A and B are shown apart, each in its own frame.
Chain A
Amino acid sequence: MMTPKGMQIRRLDIDAEEPHTLGPGRARTSRPALTVVPSQVVSEMSPESDKPTGHAKPRRSTWRTPSALPGFGPTMGFTLLYLGILVLLPLAALIIKASGGTWAQFWATATAPRALAAYQLSFGAALIAAVVNLVFGVLVAWVLVRYEFPFKRLVDGLVDLPFALPTAVAGIALATLYSPKGWIGQFLDQFGIKAAYTETGVTLALIFIGLPFVVRTVQPVLQDIDPELEEAAASLGAKPWQTFVRVIGPAIMPAALTGFALAFARAVGEYGSVIFIAGNIPMKSEIAPLLIIIKLEQYDYRGAAVIGVVMLAASFLLLLGINLIQRWARTRQGEI
């Protein structure tokens, strides 16, 4: 899916928006990284994310900024072709397949009670997992950036493991841990908590696979915040929480939201790890991607495509919403 390298580039993109707060000294370090390449990677991750910046601040005219590097034409052409073949073509096929029947049929399949229950679980669990990851991801990033401790490199590396692990392995491991006879599950069972094979299990798996996103987007931004800023805030009489909320918070907000959006998007579509820990009971613990597989098993290709289109549309709207909040956060930060 995405590489840490991709996120590095994303981060530079965010940095470039920040010279207002952080003074001319900072702008110098991050400016040269803004080339055509990042926009390609960024748009692959969230297609609409780079557009608002272009239109939001016409005064900066990011659209065709004179660049020191040549080759805008060919790279832009390649970008469009690449995205067209890689992203748009399969999506078009999906939509064509889904539009095979009448509108009434589409609506009936899309809003069947079982489908609604599955969306609710998939989006609900993904949202909860992304929120948990937002809070604890920022915390982990903070610890990794601000403190020195033994084996820090190792801990840093651990964060990426959910990326590298095959999702089925993660799912089986989690199911083994949290099942009523598992290491953790047997203790939870004593308190009457059922983790595996319930909605809780689904959320746990989604928290696991979404962990790296927030950490890896926030970490580099935190790294670039000068500790002097915090000292300055303190010397001006700010209490620690005020420093965090008014100085650090706004600076890491756009990056944290990006991480949140990525973790959420990944979680909504996740199948491999969830399937082993979800009970897969219709109306209760059946995720939407499983419903798609079930429709395929019945040779109902159109029905599967319909659920796919609904999920796609819902994810797109949610990501768009998150991007709008992000834009608002950036503009607000610019005005402080």
Chain B
Amino acid sequence: MKTKSILAALAIAAMAALPQAASAKDISLLNVSYDPTRELYKEINVAFAKQWKDKTGDTVTIQQSHGGSGKQARSVIDGLKADVVTLALAYDVDSLYDNGKLIPLEWQKRLPQNAAPYTSTIVFLVRKGNPWKIKDWDDLVKPGISVITPNPKTSGGARWNYLAAWAYALHKNNNDDAKAKDFVKKLFKNVPVLDTGARGSTTTFAQRGLGDVLIAWENEAYLSLAEFGADKFDVIVPTESILAEPTVSIVDKVVDSKGTRQVAEAYLNFLYTPEAQKIIAKNFYRPRDAAASSAATVKLPELTLFTIDEQFGGWRKAQKTHFDDGGTFDDIYKP
């Protein structure tokens, strides 16, 4: 009887001590990201965990959450305990400051290159052989061409698409805003369905067989080739497009309460290392480190790229002018 109770006491003591011993070594991070980065961060996480283990001896597990960029930002604002956010556009990260002060205003200055460790751009995916001879943005507004793009109100990728088309029209028409609006209006006349996210549009185009051309993330376009077979689609690169900069940040309020600031910062800094940049190139993103491009399986073509800052004066302004209620996107659907 006595030995039994001693044993029980020992067992309880052991159980109480166990998690404590483990928590000194086991760290868990949550990375809240946007839709097409699933494959990318899966690889990055493995590489970072290995590097962190070698350096500190601690085991770090990184959980991923994916979805439409805006929706993901809202989850974090509403209380999802994300240590880091890696979203499709800076405006969605800005919203973490605007709604709840989860991060400082100057978050984009904390990391190199506008806190965007990789970039991408917007290209076209067409049916094999390019039957409609689509070469550039001009071809998308021709009558009879059916264009697939997601809804800019709900999709981050779609906002890049919209702004890329807008900027192209500006350049063609001596920066005439009215003409640019007319161009985009014509383009959206050709859109038969607005999916809520980038993946939804890819499915509509690739699996439902709808539309003649899909406006897509470059990485998503090449992923579709890898996924559905290069014999089904061609990637068409327009003469110019937008430099899409998906941005990353730690979430200060969360890492400070969880005590994970150090490892979260190391995770984001890791994205800029040659090792991570190679993984980035392999997943069809454009690495910041030119040397890493050699790791890419396809050579991403050269084209004129303009940034959101030089063309639209930053995301806050672009969002207000184009996508908020009463913006140009609402206008082009006015009867």
Chain A interface residues (CB < 8 Å from chain B): 113-114, 175-176, 179-182, 197, 275, 279-283, 290, 293-294, 296-300, 303
B325 within 8 A of A: yes
Whether the pair B196, A280 counts as a contact (CB closer than 8 A) is: yes
Q: In the bound complex, what is the Cα–Cα distance between A197 and B195 (angstroms)?
A: 10
Residue count of chain B within 8 Å CB distance of chain A: 28
| Cβ contacts under 8 Å, B260 to chain A | none
Give min CB distance, B193 to chain A, whole Å.
4
Those of B191-225 within 8 Å (CB) of chain A: 191-196, 207-210
Among B68, B194, B210, contact of A181 (Cβ-Cβ < 8 Å): B210
Interface contact tally, CB-CB below 8 A: 63
| Cβ contacts under 8 Å, A175 to chain B | 208
Give min CB distance, A124 to chain B, whole Å.
17
Among B70, B192, B208, B334, contact of A297 (Cβ-Cβ < 8 Å): B70
| Cβ contacts under 8 Å, A290 to chain B | 196
Whether the pair A281, B191 counts as a contact (CB closer than 8 A) is: yes
Whether the pair B192, A197 counts as a contact (CB closer than 8 A) is: yes
* 19 CB < 8 A contacts A-B: A114-B330, A114-B333, A176-B207, A176-B208, A179-B209, A197-B192, A197-B193, A280-B195, A280-B196, A281-B333, A283-B333, A283-B334, A283-B335, A293-B196, A297-B70, A298-B323, A298-B324, A298-B325, A303-B325
| Cβ contacts under 8 Å, B68 to chain A | 297
Chain B: interface secondary structure? loop
Chain B interface residues (CB < 8 Å from chain A): 68, 70-71, 74, 77, 95, 98-99, 151, 153-154, 191-196, 207-210, 323-325, 330, 333-335
Residue ID in chain B nearest A291 by CB atoms? B153
In the complex with contacts A181-B208, A197-B193, A280-B195, A297-B154 CB distance below 8 A: yes
| Cβ contacts under 8 Å, B334 to chain A | 113, 283
Whether the pair B99, A299 counts as a contact (CB closer than 8 A) is: yes
Residue ID in chain B nearest A281 by CB atoms? B194
Whether the pair B193, A294 counts as a contact (CB closer than 8 A) is: no
Give min CB distance, A108 to chain B, whole Å.
10
Give min CB distance, A244 to chain B, whole Å.
43
